[in-house]
Amino acid sequence: MNLEFFIVRLRANRDAIAGLLNELSAEQARWKPTPKDWSALEVINHLVDEERDDFRTRLRMTLFHPGEPWPPIDPEGWVVERAYAQRDLQHSIQQFLAERAESLSWLETCTEADWDATYQHPVGPITAGDLFAAWLAHDLLHLRQLVELHWGYLNQVATPYTTRYAGDW
């Protein structure tokens, strides 16, 4: 496991996520392409909960308590249950930054971690290295989602003008 690479990328993703959310109006933060899609505000609050309640917690458990069951999570349900859409964007960004800072501080202490430590998940065994790689991939999936939200919102507010000169999406 190239721990330094993963830490550098998590730090860069933190900055990219915050950068995509800074300066959004309240309208844009809550805008959704369709009712079933997530808004940028819902995405950042999902990332806060995933940072704290999923990836950091489950990675720590896999490394140091691999036989203990992981605590349950409900990312889809939390959007409504935890009222993500009613939260303040700037406060949510700050929560994400604080949680990521805690994760990065902890990960920097994991120089001797056994990345092959395995958790027996119902879908099959998951190593600590798998979980760490998934954490980084999760960031990238939501970065893509945030970019797509920016693209959709731009095309809505640009009407009657188009973005076709920029190229195909």
Q: What is the domain-level CATH number for residue 59? A: 1.20.120.450
Is there a domain that residue 26 lies in?
no
Is there a domain that residue 166 lies in?
no
Q: How far is CA 28 from CA 6, 25, 42, 88, 149, in A?
A: 31, 5, 12, 13, 9
Is there a domain that residue 30 lies in?
no
Average pLDDT along the chain: 96
Residue 112 has pLDDT above 80, yes or no: yes
What is the reported pLDDT for 18? 98
Residue 117 has pLDDT above 90, yes or no: yes
What is the reported pLDDT for 93? 98
What is the reported pLDDT for 168? 80
Residue 28 has pLDDT above 80, yes or no: yes
Residue 22 has pLDDT above 90, yes or no: yes
What is the reported pLDDT for 133? 98
Range of the domain at 141: 3-21+38-161
Is there a domain that residue 168 lies in?
no
pLDDT: is 169 or 166 the higher one?
A: 166
What is the reported pLDDT for 36? 95
* Average pLDDT for 70-83: 96
What is the reported pLDDT for 66? 87
Is there a domain that residue 126 lies in?
yes
What is the reported pLDDT for 108? 97
Is there a domain that residue 95 lies in?
yes
What is the reported pLDDT for 78? 96
* Average pLDDT for 112-130: 96
Quick one: angle between helices 89-107 and 56-64, nearest 10? 20
pTM: 0.95
What is the reported pLDDT for 107? 98
Is there a domain that residue 31 lies in?
no
Count: domains in the chain: 1
Residue 169 has pLDDT above 80, yes or no: no
* Average pLDDT for 61-80: 95
Is there a domain that residue 169 lies in?
no
